[in-house]
């Protein structure tokens, strides 16, 4: 079960044992069929030599198998629960899939079989005439079958267990970095102290998905003749006003209906208030970013709390790939969260 030193050692041992037991079973069949204790034929002498070989071979394999049962019990009880979530004890480890208990039962039921054979073998060896040969060899084949079943179920337990453990680990990391808990965490602890940057990978996916499905408001600042609400991911790479073809398109929040009015007012050369002026300046900056960087600028401006100043800093940076790009946005959003909680 599971790529772990204990288990690899067990598997190698078991594979060797299967090979030896296969040979032993084959020869046992021969001995059972052709054994003639009274005759002194060449075949009988050959078979007698083979009984020594098989007896000691099976003996060693069974000793190994009995030891491995204890290793298995130890592994299941002490070693694996740490790897499997919710498995505090052996029963949790065994129920990780449907193969756990059958595996344990096969191992336990095989013990009397092995013990009977070893006992018979012991009696047989202590008598000069080997009274239990060839009868004891009838046990070799069921032993072989038990052994193979044990081996095969172990493989299934292993494969299925590995898959489950992967799922558990994936679940765990999601739990630790739930997107809902992030802003709260950020308020309690300054960014990146609790959470290492490496862990941000799945988080980047979440943020990418969220930003790309944000609906934003676009306004033609050049002619003040168009405004529309668009979802970021549906936008073409270069943005143009559908009315006048201008590329000076300003980005605003979806709910921001004032911007269009202010731009129209400016277009009519009316005097803006100080506040309106500021809004217009920001809009102009964001429009020039959209003109220069197209959709990419809109993605940056659609991030939470990222205004034209921060956006232009991000857009001027040399960014190698998509994940680096979204990592920058994540950083900017966290910075915003952090300073906002400070100023609020």
3-state secondary structure the chain: CCCCHHHHHHHHHHHHHHHHHHHHHHHHHHHHHHCCCCCCCHHHHHHHHHHHHHHHHHHHHHHHHHHHHHHHHHHHHHHCCCCCCCCCCHHHHHCCCCCHHHHHHHHHHHHHHHHHHHHHHHHHHHCCCCCCCCHHHHHHHHHHHHHHHHHHHHHHHHHHHHHHHHHHHHHHHHHHCCCCHHHHHHHHCCCCCCCCHHHHHHHHHHHHHHHHCCEEEEEECCCCCCEEEEEHHHCCCCCCCCCCCCCCEEEEECCCCHHHHHHHHHHCCCCCCHHHHHHHHHHHHHHHHHHHHCHHHHHHHCCCCCCHHHHHHHHHCCCCCHHHHHHHHHHHHHHHHHHHHHHC
Work out how close the CB of 256 gets to Zn ion at its nearest, in angstroms, rounded to a whole number. 18
- Length of the chain in terms of residues written: 344
Instruction: Using the minimum distance from each CB to Zn ion, give the nearer residue, 37 or 245.
Output: 245
- CB nearer Zn ion, residue 37 or residue 228: 228
Query: Nearer Cβ to Zn ion, position 218 or 314?
Result: 218
CA distance 139 to 55: 11
Shorter beta-carbon distance to Zn ion: residue 30 or 246: 246
Taking the least distance from each CB to Zn ion, the nearer of 6 and 226 is 226
Query: Among candidates 53, 64, 55, which has minimal Cα distance to 9?
Result: 64
CB of 265 to Zn ion, least distance (A): 16
How far CA 341 is from CA of 244, 274, 326, in Å, comes to 41, 26, 22
Q: How far is the CB of 218 from Zn ion (least distance, A)?
A: 10
Evaluate whether 190 touches 331 at the Cβ level (below 8 Å). no
Q: State the minimum distance, in angstroms, from the CB of residue 220 to Zn ion.
A: 3
Q: Give least dist CB 290 to Zn ion, A.
A: 12
With respect to Zn ion, which residue has the nearer C-beta, 220 or 330? Answer: 220
Closest separation in Å from C-beta 252 to Zn ion? 15
CA-CA distance, 30 to 25, in Å (whole number)? 9
State which residue, 297 or 314, has the beta carbon closest to Zn ion: 297
Q: Whole-number minimum distance, CB 248 to Zn ion, in Å?
A: 8
**Smallest gap, in angstroms, from Cβ of residue 245 to Zn ion?**
7
Nearer to Zn ion, 24 or 220 (CB): 220
For binding to Zn ion (CB under 5 A), which residues are involved?
Answer: 220, 223, 225-226, 241, 243-244, 246
Is the separation of the CB atoms in 27 and 54 below 8 Å?
yes
Q: How far is the CB of 293 from Zn ion (least distance, A)?
A: 19
| CB nearer to Zn ion: pick between 207 and 298 | 298
């Amino acid at each position: 079960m599971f790529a772990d030193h204990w288990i690899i050692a067990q598997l190698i041992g078991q594979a060797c044992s299967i090979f030896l037991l296969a040979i032993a079973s084959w020869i046992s069949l021969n001995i059972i069929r052709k054994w003639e204790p009274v005759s002194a034929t060449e075949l009988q002498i050959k078979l007698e030599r083979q009984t020594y070989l098989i007896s000691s071979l099976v003996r060693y394999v069974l000793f190994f198998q009995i030891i491995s049962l204890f290793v298995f019990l130890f592994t299941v009880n002490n070693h694996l629960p740490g790897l499997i979530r919710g498995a505090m004890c052996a029963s949790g480890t065994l129920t990780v899939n449907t193969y756990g208990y059958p595996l344990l039962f096969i191992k336990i039921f095989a013990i009397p079989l092995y013990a009977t054979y070893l006992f018979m073998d012991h009696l047989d060896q202590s008598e000069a005439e080997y009274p239990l040969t060839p009868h004891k060899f009838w046990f070799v084949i069921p032993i072989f079958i038990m052994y193979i079943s044990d081996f095969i179920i172990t493989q299934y337990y292993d494969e299925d267990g590995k898959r489950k453990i992967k799922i558990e680990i994936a679940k765990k990391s999601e739990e630790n970095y739930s997107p809902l808990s992030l802003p709260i965490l950020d308020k309690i602890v300054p960014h990146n102290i609790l959470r290492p940057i490496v862990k941000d990978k799945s988080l980047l996916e979440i943020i990418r998905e969220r930003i790309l499905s944000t609906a934003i408001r676009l306004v033609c600042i050049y002619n003040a003749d168009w405004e529309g609400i668009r979802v970021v991911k549906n936008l073409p790479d270069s943005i143009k006003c559908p009315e006048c073809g201008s590329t000076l398109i300003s980005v605003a929040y979806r709910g921001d209906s004032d911007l269009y009015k202010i731009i129209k007012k400016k277009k009519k050369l009316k005097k803006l208030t100080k506040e309106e002026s500021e809004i217009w300046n920001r809009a102009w900056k964001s429009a020039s970013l959209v003109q220069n960087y197209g959709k990419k600028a809109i993605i940056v401006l659609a991030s939470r709390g990222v205004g034209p100043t921060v956006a232009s800093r991000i857009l001027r940076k040399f960014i190698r790939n998509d994940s680096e790009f979204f990592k920058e946005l994540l950083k900017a959003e966290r910075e915003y969260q952090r300073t906002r909680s400070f100023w609020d």
